[in-house]
A and B are shown apart, each in its own frame.
Chain A
């Protein structure tokens, strides 16, 4: 999208949106530069492809810089930019929210999953 087509504030959210791993990755980079493999190890359960996509998006948007060292094997480091540090603040407030509401969310999930099971049983019984 070119700058002249800059969206209205209401649509701004469509321009930059966090993915499932965005905030997790940004928080991992809080204190230091990390390599791809280190990020992969610490971001529980992220796939190689998803991590690559997330990092590329963060780099493209200017939140992360990627530095390649011509060692053998090549080493690739990721660091937060100044803009990335601002994103970190949002990631932190998300974490506070997640920690505060975790129990409620887990209860909601149990109810939802139990409801889905009952629905499936009814469907089986009625067929």
Chain B
């Protein structure tokens, strides 16, 4: 296969594979914009995220240095999450994403309706096999 000249994996592409958003990354980062939040608060505001996925998302944000996690030895223990300086830079990207989605969401939803309608037609399935 001949790939065009500008197609190559460089260091920056590796960086993209190293640091990239999961399904809930930008949602969680946006929720932490103005304040620290507890786990249960994040769970409530991020509509529909499961306990496990939220735990994984927060752990990965903490590990990457975007979020700090503070534990208070109360009963029951309280755990707060807030954005670091680096996390605030990520917020800029989250905002760009939101602007994009707001601008294009009706187009996306129309595309979904077409796709789903096509998938329902008996002869026009999405079969991968011949």
Contact = CB atoms under 8 A, between A and B. Distances in A.
Contact of B109 (A1, A19, A106): A1
B64 A12 contact: no
A31 B6 CA distance: 8
A124 B23 CA distance: 35
Interface residues of A, number: 57
Interface residues of B, number: 55
A95 B15 contact: yes
Interface in B1-38: 1, 3-4, 6-7, 9, 11-13, 15-24, 26-27, 30
A106 B18 CA distance: 9
Contacts of B24: 17
Interface in B77-121: 86, 89-90, 93-94, 96-98, 100-102, 104-113, 115-116
Interface in A35-78: 38, 42, 44-45, 56, 59-62, 70, 74, 76
Q: Which of A19, A62, A70, A87 has the most CB of B within 10 A?
A: A62
Contacts of B23: 17-19
A12 B13 contact: no
A117 B15 CA distance: 25
Nearest to A81: B111
B27 A17 contact: yes
Interface of B: 1, 3-4, 6-7, 9, 11-13, 15-24, 26-27, 30, 46-48, 62-65, 86, 89-90, 93-94, 96-98, 100-102, 104-113, 115-116, 126, 128, 130
